């Protein structure tokens, strides 16, 4: 297939591109390099530097004709989205509308979209399946849910088939070490832990130890980014083959607490990783764990690298090069 991967120089995007290339597909990356980086580009792929707010450029690029589009270009800081919702409206919602309209005009009919567990909010029950109530606790999650709704309309009205992949917590790096770029100014737990381990940051703040969980810290479902990448390939093949649209929750189905993450990182890095308890972060649910039974049944997707040691070790292998 000839694919356009928007946001393909980013952390998840570069793993997705690697997976498509490894499986013999032809990939063009479109990225503005605001959070993505050149180091994450591969010589087998094409690269166009551009922004999803640039409508004429999107039209020009898509006129080239593609069998499918993977859309990963978004801002993803939960905290920032609550302080600067305007930025998230423009980049995440307007940018996606630009992409969809250009895709629709140019005859692209298959889209795999990066959605998020952030669409669900506080769980009503665990594990979280696809039908769970959608009540995003932050503006970032709201932008993802809005886009899912818009995709449903474009499916109905323009026959654009899509797969919305709701990632739980994406972590880890390519186990073969082929992805070199580190995230710039990360706000997520594992990259922050890694920056403490490399000495770039002094200590980790653990946001709350008074949750109703086994050790009081938040529980999340950490899933390896290479496993997520495989899901994009399977989802793209699936929507082509069955001419259908669908949503999938992607997680490892295992809950790990912040303290357990820190302990594992200490073990694997051999670094002390100083940590202190800080107040809760607003909008953080205590416990989020997915069921990926639907992805398993429909896409035959199963997390392979999402055990805690592999998650930490592959992250550390990427970060320790920067010691
Ligand atoms: C959030 C979204 C998720 C999204 C991701 C993208 C929700 C519920 N989840 O994940 O869907 O894909 O952002 O960025 O909105 N923590 C600390 N100290 C830190 C950083 C994090 O203790 O310095 C804790 C958090 O409180 C949380 C856990 O670590 O319990 C994971 O946090 P993070 O990596 O930021 O991801 P989420 O907020 O779970």
pLDDT tens for residues 25-70?
A: 999 999 999 999 999 999 999 999 999 999 999 999 999 999 999 9
pLDDT tens for residues 293-309?
A: 999 999 999 999 999 99
167 noted as active-site residue: no
Closest Cα to atom 15 of ligand 1:
118
Domain 189-221+253-320 CATH class label: alpha beta
Residue range(s) occupied by CATH 3.90.25.10 in the chain: 189-221+253-320
- Alpha-carbon distance 238 to 240, whole Å? 5
Residue 26 C-beta-side C-alpha neighbours within 13 Å:
6
pLDDT tens for residues 222-238?
A: 999 999 999 999 999 99
In short, whether 166's Cβ falls inside 6 Å of ligand 1 is no
Q: Which CATH architecture has domain 2-171+223-250?
A: 3-Layer(aba) Sandwich (3.40)
pTM equals 0.97
Residue range(s) occupied by CATH 3.40.50.720 in the chain: 2-171+223-250
Closest Cα to atom 6 of ligand 1:
76
Helix, strand or coil, per DSSP, at residue 130: coil
Closest Cα to atom 28 of ligand 1:
189
Where are the strands (E) in the chain, listed by range?
2-6, 26-31, 46-49, 68-71, 110-116, 161-167, 169-171, 204-207, 219-220, 222-224, 246-250, 256-257, 275-278
Q: Which of 11, 88, 139, 140 is catalytic?
A: 140
State the Rg of the chain over Cα: 19
Q: What is the 3-state secondary structure (H, E, C) of 222-276?
A: EEEHHHHHHHHHHHHHHHHHHCCCEEEEECCCCCEEHHHHHHHHHHHHCCCCCEE
- Alpha-carbon distance 86 to 95, whole Å? 12
pLDDT: is 270 or 322 the higher one?
Answer: 270
Distance 224 CA to ligand 1 centre (A): 15
């Amino acid at each position: 297939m000839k694919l356009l991967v928007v946001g393909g120089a980013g952390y998840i995007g570069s793993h997705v591109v690697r997976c498509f290339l490894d499986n013999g597909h032809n990939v063009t990356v479109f990225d503005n390099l605001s959070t993505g980086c050149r180091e994450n580009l591969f010589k087998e792929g094409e690269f166009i530097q551009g922004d999803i707010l640039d409508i004429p450029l999107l039209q020009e690029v898509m006129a080239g004709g593609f069998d499918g589009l993977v859309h990963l270009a978004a801002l993803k800081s939960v905290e920032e989205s609550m302080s600067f919702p305007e930025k998230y409206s423009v980049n995440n919602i307007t940018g996606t509308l630009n992409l969809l309209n250009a895709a629709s005009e140019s005859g692209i009919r298959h889209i795999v979209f990066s959605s998020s567990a952030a669409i669900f909010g506080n769980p009503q029950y665990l594990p979280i399946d696809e039908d769970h109530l959608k009540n995003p606790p932050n503006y970032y999650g709201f932008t993802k849910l809005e886009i899912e709704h818009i995709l449903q309309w474009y499916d109905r009205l323009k026959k654009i088939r899509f797969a919305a992949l709701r990632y739980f917590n994406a972590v880890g790096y390519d186990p073969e070490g082929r992805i070199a770029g580190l995230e710039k100014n990360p706000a997520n737990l594992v990259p922050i832990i890694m920056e403490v381990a490399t000495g770039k940051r002094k200590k980790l703040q653990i946001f709350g130890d008074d949750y109703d969980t086994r050790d009081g810290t938040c529980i999340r479902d950490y899933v390896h980014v290479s496993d997520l990448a495989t899901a994009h390939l399977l989802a793209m093949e699936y929507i082509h083959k069955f001419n259908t649209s669908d949503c999938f929750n992607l997680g490892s189905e295992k809950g790990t607490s912040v303290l357990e993450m820190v302990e594992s990182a200490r073990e694997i890095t051999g670094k002390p990783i100083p940590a202190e308890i800080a107040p809760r972060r607003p909008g953080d649910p205590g416990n989020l764990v997915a069921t990926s039974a639907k992805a398993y049944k429909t896409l035959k997707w199963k997390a392979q690298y999402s055990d805690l040691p592999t998650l930490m070790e592959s992250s550390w292998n990427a970060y320790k090069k920067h010691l």
